[in-house]
Structure 1
Amino acid sequence: MDDSARAWISAIPPFGPDDVGVLLSLDLTSRDPGERMVAVLLNRGHEGEEGVFSLLPFDLSARYERTGGRLAVSVLASRQVLVDDLAGDTDDDRAALRAHLAGLPRDAADDDRVTLLRRELVTDFVPAERDGVKQPVLLIDHPGPAPLAELLSGFERGESGIAVLNAD
């Protein structure tokens, strides 16, 4: 699936029909190292409403960027948090993730952060901002690629979760 098929501007049922925001999908079966590292960090979430997890900004965060008619959303993580979470495990999968992490460039705005995912879509949507704080990005995890309707019905059935990422 391309990026635009994995990012939506939508009202999310658990938050109400008037709360329109950015929703990104995370395929838990993906072989993409960035997606796999995000999945590792989701274990650091703190459950709020049933099935909805909030993550601390130094664990995972999001960044909005607008270029013309496109909105890009990046998911960033602390390199050190990833190093700590991936350390000590000797399986081949974790070793491959450590090797991938070592090659990721540092974020220009924060030397400790790395970009794990980046999704873009064509939209005129401008994320809301309140008191200088941008609207969070929602990340829905699920097994395999899926269209939005399937993602939301999977959440309703308890087969996926939603993580709330602070954005800048």
Structure 2
Amino acid sequence: MDDSSRMWITAVPPFGPDDVGVLLSVDTGSTDPGERLACRLLDRGHEGEEGVFHLLPFDLAARYSRTGDRLAVTLVAARAVLDEERTEAPPQSDEDGWVTLLRRELVTDFEPAEQDGEKQAVLLIDHLGPVGSLEELFARFEDGESGIAVLNAQ
């Protein structure tokens, strides 16, 4: 699957039609080690609205970057958290101790909002198996077959 089938700029039904932002999907059954680690860290979330989990910024976070017309979102986790979870983490950490788990990008002119110096959160929907469309992803959420996590952006 390419990034454009796993990353969207959209409104998410539980949050309302005016809250447009970045949404990523992660497959809990993925063979990708970074995606599996991201899914595992979702268990550290704290439930807010029904089915919506908020993660602490040092557990799992997102980073935005732009190259020309492409917006990229990278999911990162603190090396200390991965060590605590006793996971087989990728060996490389950046200078601040963050490990890159996955990166997705797509062509868009969307600019994530900032408020009080904080970047707009990234929403992450976890699901089992491939998803054919955004509508199918939302339907799985409505059926209780997936959850939404809110990730702070650095």
Q: TM-score range by the shorter chain?
A: over 0.9
2:144 alignment partner in structure 1? 158
Displacement of 1:36 in angstroms is 0.6
Identity over aligned pairs, percent: 68
What TM-score, normalized to structure 1? 0.88
1:75, 1:5 → 2: CA distance?
A: 17
Distance 2:94 2:27 in 1: 24
CA distance in 2: counterparts of 1:20 and 1:38, whole angstroms:
23
Match of 1:138, SS?
A: strand
Task: Give the aligned partner of residue 37 of structure 2.
Answer: 37
- Return the offset for 1:104: 3.0
Unaligned ranges ≥5, structure 1 = 87-96
CA displacement at 1:84 relative to structure 2: 1.1
Q: Which runs of 4+ in 1 moved over 2 A?
A: none
Equivalence for 2:126: 141
Query: 5 Å matches for 1:12-161?
Result: 12-86=12-86, 98=88, 101=89, 103-108=90-95, 110=96, 112-146=97-131, 147-161=133-147
Letter aligned with residue 119 of structure 1 = R
- Once the two structures are TM-superposed, the CA of residue 119 in structure 1 deviates from its matched residue by 0.3
| 2:105 partner SS | strand
Shift of 1:148: 1.0
Shift of 1:145: 1.6
1:61-89, Cα deviation, whole Å (9 max, x unpaired): 00000110000000000111111112xxx
CA deviation after TM superposition for structure 1 residue 40, in Å: 1.0
* CA–CA distance in structure 2, aligned partners of residues 25 and 82 of structure 1: 21
Max radius of gyration: which structure? 1
Code of the residue aligned with 1:41 in structure 2: it is L
- Give 5+ residue unaligned stretches, structure 2: none
Higher helix share: 1
Q: Matched residue pairs, number?
A: 153
The one-letter code of the counterpart of 2:153 is A
> Aligned partner of 1:142: which letter?
H
RMSD value over aligned CA atoms?
1.0
